[in-house]
Amino acid sequence: MRVLWNNRDYMLLWSGQVVSTLGSAASAVVYPLLILAMTQSAEAAGIAGALRAFPYLVFSLPGGALIDRWDRKRVMIWCDVGRGLATASIPLALWLDALTLAQLYLATFIEGSLFVFFNIAEVAALPRVVAREHLPEAAAQNDAGFAAVHIAGPALGTFLFGALGRAAPFVFDACSYAVSAASLLRIRTPFHTERKREARPLGPEVMEGLRWLWGNPLVRYMALLTGGLNLMNAGTTLMLIVLAKDMGARDSSIGLIFSIAGIGGIAGAVVGGQVQKRWRFGQVIVTLMAMNAVLFPLYALAPTPWLLGVVGGAIFFMSPIYNVVQFSYRLSIIPDELQGRVNSTFRLVAFGFMPLGAVLAGFVIEHYGAKACVFVLSCVMIALAALTAANRHVREAGPVASRSAA
């Protein structure tokens, strides 16, 4: 880790994103609380979650090709500016007593759309800022920072929401985007190699990324598996909020539940890099999926809101380990000139299931209750674990280190 801490440009990138993620974590838990307060409808809150994720279906493939053409740093800065303005529109409307559900939907859609371009550019830029052999450590440090802010973020967001008013978490989030943009401006390393400026149609460039991913059966399956996990994640936040409310938890307590769960994420991020070095890819992924299948149904059995957080912490512990292993493997083998296109294709699949997950959770909770949602998502998790254990490409995959030299 010392090498990374001495890498000025990586630390600027990392610290800016930690602050930005803190703002997003503070506002993310407040979105469904605000919509539930305005509408008393879980379906309406689920639709907002779907709109945040839906842009990946629309913009992911062309976005990847464009990121491989455009200046990645400039794209990230303008995306931060746009997301900050979209978020700032919410407190402005609240102060004017003019906030509507339609505006919340539009703001979350704009945020989600710009996140697509920002995220693809950030992933494509990371191998330029960090040496290839340090990618697993960088992935682990990223997850550690993000896990830490996911402890503080929900509690901070619900505190601001309750103590300073509904606008406060969104003001904080908008300011966090400004910090991210400022950190990017100070980075000196180019975010891409020299490129040949060719006037090529966008379609063939998109197909290059699709063909590369489709031709690698392990990366292809991991995209589908990550999509299944994200389908569940998209519904889990709303599910936990409603489970906690059914137990009588107040809004401020709900933020602390997510903070307790986030402690598990930090622990997983701390050990993620070591797990990646000591065990084979297949061993790690199959084991993590089996453990998730065992733990997820426990949400329905938790008797108190705090135990919801403990179960969440056990599940969150595995998430950064999964991310470090699959992320570092993927980045280590994708050519730089294809990073944007291949990662956008991966993320199209990985994030494309999230709108379905958000709408599914909202529908099931609205009509059948939060515990029924636990049952449905548990069935999805068990199916994913079984498919992963049966996939020979996952089982036979070696350590990431051996792939990095390829």
Residues 6+ apart with CB under 8 A from 308: 240, 243, 244, 257, 261, 299, 302
Average of per-residue pLDDT across 378-394: 94
- CA 300/CA 382 separation, integer angstroms: 15
Q: Which pLDDT belongs to residue 398?
A: 64
More confident: 205 or 116: 116
Q: Which pLDDT belongs to residue 405?
A: 31
Q: Which pLDDT belongs to residue 95?
A: 93
Average of per-residue pLDDT across 148-157: 81
DSSP character at residue 189: S
The lowest-confidence range among 101-105, 110-114, 193-197 is 193-197
- CA 218/CA 205 separation, integer angstroms: 22
Q: Which pLDDT belongs to residue 227?
A: 92
Instruction: Give the end-to-end CA distance of the chain in Å, rounded to a whole number.
Output: 23
Q: Which pLDDT belongs to residue 197?
A: 55
Average of per-residue pLDDT across 180-204: 76
pLDDT above 50 for 343: yes
Give the number of other Cβ atoms within 10 Å of residue 94's Cβ: 18
Most confident of 233-247, 256-270, 325-339: 233-247
- CA 296/CA 378 separation, integer angstroms: 6
CB 27 within 8 A of CB 158: no
Q: Which pLDDT belongs to residue 193?
A: 64
One-character DSSP codes across 57-98: HHHHHHHHHHHTTS-HHHHHHHHHHHHHHHHHHHHHHHHTT-
Q: Where are the domains of the chain?
A: 2-188+204-404
Q: What is the CA radius of gyration of the chain?
A: 20
Average of per-residue pLDDT across 68-80: 88
pLDDT above 80 for 167: yes
* pLDDT category of residue 390 using cuts at 50, 70 and 90: very high
The lowest-confidence range among 121-130, 290-299, 304-313 is 121-130
Average of per-residue pLDDT across 394-406: 56
> 34-64 pLDDT, tens per residue?
898 888 888 888 888 888 878 877 887 787 7
- CA 34/CA 291 separation, integer angstroms: 33
Q: Which pLDDT belongs to residue 402?
A: 42
Average of per-residue pLDDT across 174-197: 84
Q: Which pLDDT belongs to residue 401?
A: 43
Q: Which pLDDT belongs to residue 314?
A: 92
> 17-28 pLDDT, tens per residue?
899 989 988 888
pLDDT above 90 for 267: no
Average pLDDT, the chain: 85
Q: In b/e form, how buried is each residue of 126-154, taking b as 16+ CB within 10 angstroms?
A: bbbbbeeebbbbbbbbbbbbbbbbbbebb
CB 156 within 8 A of CB 99: no
The residue whose two tokens read 């839906």 is: 54
Nearest to 119 by CA among 356, 403, 350: 350
Average of per-residue pLDDT across 361-381: 93
pLDDT above 90 for 178: yes
pLDDT above 90 for 176: yes
pLDDT above 50 for 195: yes
More confident: 31 or 68: 31
What proportion of the chain, given as a percentage, has pLDDT over 90?
33
In CATH terms, the superfamily for domain 2-188+204-404 is: MFS general substrate transporter like domains (1.20.1250.20)
Nearest to 378 by CA among 299, 266, 285, 265: 299
Q: The tokens of 38 are what?
A: 């305005």
* pLDDT category of residue 273 using cuts at 50, 70 and 90: low
Q: The tokens of 50 are what?
A: 């779907």
Q: Which pLDDT belongs to residue 2?
A: 65
